[in-house]
Amino acid sequence: MISVEDWALIRRMVADGVPRRQVARDLGIGRSTVERALASDLPPKYERAAVPSSFAPFEPLVRQLLIATPDMPATVIAERVGWTGSISWFREHVRRLRPQHWPVDPSDRLTWLAGDAAQCDLWFPPKKIPLEDGSASLLPVMVITAAHSRFMVGAMIPTRHTADLLLGMWELLQRLGAVPRRLIWDNESGIGRGKRHAEGVGAFTGTLATTLQRLKPYDPESKGIVERRNGFFETSFMPGRDFESPADFNTQFADWLVIANSRVVRTIKTKPLDLLDADRAAMLPLPPVAPAVGWVNRVRLGRDYYIRLDSSDYSVDPAMIGRFVDVSADLSRVEVRHQGRLVAGHDRVWARGMTITDPAHVAAAKVLREQFQQPRPAIDPGEGLARDLADYDRAFGLTDNLTDGQVA
């Protein structure tokens, strides 16, 4: 067998007009070799004759096991079929055969009508955000993408608790200016698990007159639009940015989304901003009455005059100790009321385990404590304790049978 270099040299020499006999003499090869080189349009290639491998007798048994259980580990298959050779060699063959026996899961091309749906998701930026106590944390960003126009809105929220998720959705829907007929989520625990929505989700969607659709597992295509946006944020928004606080992140993100929504999207060949009006016109209007969202709780105020929201404590007017107070909070504010009257108001903190104290509450607690510790005036044992015995006679109906001056 000649080399690739000789094959190329033979063909070039003959093409230059050198007789074939002279080519064979100059290169020291036979004329038959020259003829074979000229007859072959492909360079010579060494091919070893195929011989049965040690895996071949086991392949039918392996295929039977993979048909019944496609995800069976290779080590278990080797034990079942009685393989005694190299396990790495066996794994290589199983890896080659396994894809042929996986069940097929085709995905249809989806068409998104105007106003029909918006895809919702949580994106976790790969950079910790500084918080009030000097710590830093990875915080979720709620993102809603209108499926038809690809218009995006998003904002960072403190937690994945249901109350914060509903607050975030309501805020973003107000920015969108309308309510899509379907809000598509995956199985986020704060939205619901299994067949049940989380508490409060049903009332929220009922007020909006929309439908919240939670996807089944292994259905990434139905929420692929917003999933791809999460990757877009990490490659186009995050690089080179620093953030001083969650509020600073939200400001920068909102400014960048204005630019991003003005760029042409390859799949729809237009800008999301250009399709937004048609998309919004087919959506449902915002409800005349805002949905009841946020943190809500009723507690009896203890002696330490603090209430807990999420994981932080907030002071309350100590005059409310022992009484029931109503606690409510949104993404930025915590308020406590007693019979409708505001008795505490604080900016909400996003850090964990903080104690927020109003100096006025501490001063009021000091006054109440001093009043409680003052000694009470002594009461005269005889004062107000003397009573006419005739009062008891009249109380028990004994005065009717007595004459004047008699005592029962």
d(CA 254, CA 258): 7
Q: Which helix (H) or strand (E) holds 336?
A: strand 333-338
Q: What is the structure's pLDDT at 187?
A: 85
Contacts of 296 (CB under 8 A, 6+ apart): 163, 326, 327, 328
The DSSP code for 191 is T
In angstroms, the first-to-last Cα distance of the chain is 145
Cβ-count burial of 182 within 10 angstroms (0-12 exposed, 13-18 middle, 19+ buried)? middle
Structural tokens at position 95: 């890896």
The DSSP code for 56 is G
CA 382 to chain centre: 73
Structural tokens at position 89: 């060699």
Comparing CA positions, the residue from 311, 320, 312, 304 lying closest to residue 346 is 312
With a cut of 70, list the residues of the chain below it in pLDDT. Answer: 106-108, 218, 220, 378-387, 392, 398-408
Radius of gyration of the chain (CA): 41
d(CA 312, CA 319): 21
| Burial per residue of 199-215, b for 16 or more beta-carbon CB atoms within 10 angstroms, e otherwise | ebbeebbebbebebebe
Q: What is the structure's pLDDT at 385?
A: 56
Q: What is the structure's pLDDT at 378?
A: 65
SS3 183: strand
The DSSP-derived string for 188-250 is -TTTEETTEEPTTHHHHHHHHT-EEEEPPSS-GGGGHHHHHHHHHHHHHTSTT---SSHHHHH
CA 366 to chain centre: 45
Asked whether the beta carbons of 77 and 65 are under 8 A apart, the reply is: yes
Q: What is the structure's pLDDT at 365?
A: 94
- Percentage, residues of the chain above pLDDT 70: 92
- pTM check: above 0.75: no
